[in-house]
């Protein structure tokens, strides 16, 4: 591995070119690493289309996170609005991003508890 690539500020990090020129480790300094960009560019049509449209990988990832958050919030609202509904064809099958399961992430109360716990034990 060439360490100069990692520290070179003019290197095109966060691009397919960056990966092809040799930045193919997890040490990439870009917000979205060259490796991730390369992998997604070749395996994710939507990602490739957005790159070709002029978006940067960081913009695409930020937009995806926003969408996932909105989807999770909409899901939460839907559950609160229909507290009695448990089964149904329309439930839980509409996630555009299957990786972001709201069920797996800890609730706000749990997060707060963890933070307080950490504060007591620095």
Q: Which is nearer to Zn ion, 23 or 60 (CB)?
A: 23
Q: Which is nearer to Zn ion, 39 or 100 (CB)?
A: 39
Structure-block tokens of residue 59: 């913009």
CB of 31 to Zn ion, least distance (A): 10
Q: Which is nearer to Zn ion, 18 or 57 (CB)?
A: 18
d(CA 111, CA 88): 30
CA nearest to 28, candidates 57, 68, 65, 62: 57
CB of 78 to Zn ion, least distance (A): 40
Q: Which is nearer to Zn ion, 55 or 71 (CB)?
A: 55
Q: What is the DSSP string of 48-97?
A: HHHHHTT--HHHHHHHHHHHHHHHHHHHHHHHHH-TT----TTSS---S-
Alpha carbon distance, N-terminus to C-terminus of the chain: 37
CB of 23 to Zn ion, least distance (A): 3
Interacting residues toward Zn ion by CB under 5 A: 13, 18, 23, 28, 34
CB of 18 to Zn ion, least distance (A): 4
């Amino acid at each position: 591995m060439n360490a100069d690539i990692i520290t070179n500020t003019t290197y095109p990090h966060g691009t397919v070119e960056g990966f092809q020129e040799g930045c193919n480790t997890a040490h990439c300094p870009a917000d979205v690493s060259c490796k991730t960009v390369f992998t997604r560019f070749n395996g994710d049509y939507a990602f490739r289309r957005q790159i070709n449209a002029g978006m940067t990988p960081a913009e695409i990832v930020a937009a995806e996170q926003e969408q996932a958050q909105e989807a999770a919030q909409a899901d939460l609202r839907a559950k609160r609005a229909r507290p009695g509904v448990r089964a149904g064809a329309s439930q839980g099958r509409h996630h555009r991003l299957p990786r972001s399961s709201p069920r797996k992430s800890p609730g706000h109360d749990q997060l707060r508890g963890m933070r307080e716990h950490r504060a007591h034990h620095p």
